[in-house]
Amino acid sequence: SVGQPIECNAAVAYAPNKPLTIEKIIVEAPKVDEIRVKVLKSALCHTDAFTLSGEDNEWPASDFKPVILGHEAVGVIESVGPEVTDLSIGDHVIMLYTAECGECKFCIDNRTNLCIKVRSTQGKGVMPDGTTRFKNLKGEPIYHFMGCSAFSEYTVVSKHSAVKINKEFNLEQAALLGCGVATGFGAAGYKGIGAAKKGNQITKGSSVAVFGLGAVGCSVLEGAKAAGAKKIIAIDTNDNKEAWAKEFGATDFVNPLKLKEGENIVSKLVSMSDDGFGIDFTYDCTGNVNVMNDALMASARGTGISTVIGVAPAGAQISVRPFYLIVGRTWTGIAYGNIKGKSEMTELIQASDSGDLSLDKYVTHRREFTDINTAFEDLHSGDCLRTVFNY
Ligand code: AHE
Ligand code: ZN
Ligand code: ZN
């Protein structure tokens, strides 16, 4: 079928807050600088649910186009378009919603991973030439998502949006490296990559507070442990998360709903810091702007760094008294853990091989791809880190 359209199953989102429709679609052949991938494993990330809810700035309910979601995935290249030289048919690839072209202003800047080569068309759900490679059997275009669209048996992505990995690497764990766990682990900083590239590496003996214990939050905990942090405080409103927080390296667990009279999460965290000036590194992994404000305020006077990782609903804003910044706190944000997906994936795989990143612990549910709608329920069950789909 090289060069020919493929008919296959896909899970299509036709409207916000509606279940995905499992149906046959047509996947066109890859064009210049594109590859067609047979998806092998993918996982459901909260961001897929976020977009399906209509809260996504770039995919609002008011202008919801039919789309194939999914951005955390691994597959095998089925065919390549013209001018694709460093990827071949048969290669195993992890999809990269933050591409790495290696040549743009951001790719040649050591500090950031925010490649712009395909980002603008990606946000519109089309390939770089402005058109889609998907259509349904009525011939209507189906749009792409985050440059990946993994919730289809076959997908087409830019050659810049895929990184080749060793065929022996566990496929379920490879899929996870496509988003959540790379995002949190990179945000902690690891051996000079991720947040380290911005000077925000968690330091040995420091204190860390992580709000929100999903896959992202738990991988921040692992990063903090690998960095030698002394106090790693895991925060979540669900007490059941305490056990796995400890598994991932937390030294303390705090439930903000169970504080003493007159105490709030900021005063609680500040009181837990050694010197009473606040926590050295704090992270929001919830997407809730009130939590982001708390995370900033709980960070240490003079030297604290608070990082926004969670994705907030369209229009939501953060706000604190400017004085908190005047007295030395840094408020920052991060995308895909500031990991350059092509040139730094090896480090993440080595982190997994060395046990610093325990990928197997994040696979808490498995489902057949065609049962994907049930997986959205898993997300709300409170005991789910990742549901991995088998194709
Ligand atoms: N379209 C969304 C973007 C929200 C957002 O911040 N996305 C994250 C990835 S979430 C993955 O689970 C991100 O890294 N963004 C960087 C980028 O290039 O978009 C919105 O809210 O507008
Ligand atoms: Zn994600
Ligand atoms: Zn680039």
* Distance in Å, CA 50 to ligand 1 centroid: 10
Number of the ligand 1 atom closest to the C-alpha atom of 48:
12
What is the distance between the alpha carbons of residues 167 and 93, in angstroms, rounded to a whole number? 9
- The ligand whose atoms approach the alpha carbon of 341 most closely is 3
**Residue numbers annotated as active site:** 45-47, 71-72, 101, 104, 107, 115, 119, 179, 386
DSSP β-ladder status, 154-158 and 34-43: antiparallel
Task: Tell me the C-alpha to C-alpha distance, in Å, between residue 222 and each of 146, 189, 215, 310, 355.
Answer: 26, 10, 11, 17, 10
Angle, helices 180-188/345-354, rounded to nearest 10 degrees: 90
Spatial contact of 179 and 94, defined as CB atoms under 8 Å apart: no
pLDDT tens figures, 143-173: 999 999 999 999 999 999 999 999 999 999 9
- Closest Cα to atom 4, ligand 1: which residue? 311
Angle (nearest 5°) at CA 249 between 248 and 253: 95
Ligand nearest to the CA of 42: 2
b/e 146-169 (16+ beta carbons within 10 angstroms → b): bbbbbbbbbbbbbbbbbbebeeeb
Question: Mutation test of ligand 1: which of 285, 311, 379 has the most ligand atoms closer than 8 Å to its C-beta?
Answer: 311
- The residue assigned the tokens 């709608």 is 373
For residue 205, the model assigns a pLDDT of 98
Report the nearest-CA residue for atom 13 of ligand 1: 335
Centre of ligand 3 to C-alpha 90, Å, is: 25
Q: CA dist 260 to 265, 290, 292, Å?
A: 10, 20, 22
How confident is the model at residue 37, as a pLDDT?
A: 98
pLDDT at 116: 98
Whole-number pLDDT of residue 59: 97
* Alpha-carbon distance values, 53 to 14, 112, 177, 232, 309 (Å): 12, 29, 24, 32, 19
Distance between CA 315 and CA 287 in Å, rounded?
A: 12
Which residue's CA is the nearest one to ligand 1's atom 1? 58
CB distance 207 to 230 below 8 Å: yes
Cα 267 to averaged position of ligand 2 atoms, centre (Å) = 31
Looking at the CA of 175, name the nearest ligand: 2
How far apart are the CA of 72 and the centre of ligand 2, in A?
6
**Sign of the Cα pseudo-torsion (37, 39, 43, 44, in order):** positive
Q: Ligand 1 centroid to 36 CA: how many Å?
A: 23
Residue nearest to ligand 1 atom 7, measured at CA: 311
Residue 223 CA, ligand 3 centroid: distance in Å: 26
Nearest-CA residue for atom 10 of ligand 1: 47
Residues of the chain predicted below pLDDT 70: none
The residue with tokens 């890859």 is: 30
SS (H, E, C) the chain: CCCCCEEEEEEEECCCCCCCEEEEEEECCCCCCEEEEEEEEEECCHHHHHHHCCCCCCCCHHHCCCECCCCEEEEEEEEECCCCCCCCCCCEEEECCCCCCCCCCCCCCCCCCCCCCCHHHHHCCCCCCCCCCEEECCCCEEECCCCCCCCECEEEEEHHHEEEECCCCCHHHHHHCCCHHHHHHHHHCECCEHHHHHCCCCCCCCEEEEECCCHHHHHHHHHHHHCCCCEEEEECCCCCHHHHHHHCCCCEEECHHHCCCCCCHHHHHHHHCCCCCCECEEEECCCCHHHHHHHHHHECCCCCEEEECCCCCCCCCCCCCCHHHHCCCEEEECCHHHCCCCCCHHHHHHHHHHCCCCHHHHEEEEEEHHHHHHHHHHHCCCCCCEEEEEC
Exposed e or buried b for every residue in 192-217, given b needs 16+ CB within 10 A? ebbbbbbebbbeeebbbbbbbbbbbb
The protein residue whose alpha carbon is closest to atom 15 in ligand 1 is 335
d(CA 326, CA 328): 6
**Which residues are near ligand 1 (CB < 6 Å)?**
45, 47, 56-58, 98, 119, 179, 311, 335-336
Report the C-alpha gap between 390 and 366 in whole angstroms: 7
The pLDDT score that the predictor gives to residue 318 is 98
Pairing of strands 231-235, 141-142: unpaired
CB 12: neighbour CB atoms within 10 A? 22
Ligand 1, pocket-test mutation among 42, 44, 47, 118, most atoms within 8 A of CB = 47
Examine the predicted complex and report whether its ipTM is higher than 0.90: yes
Residue from 97, 219, 308 whose mutation best tests the ligand 1 pocket (most atoms within 8 A of CB)? 97
Pairing of strands 21-27, 6-12: antiparallel
pTM of the predicted structure, to 2 decimals: 0.98
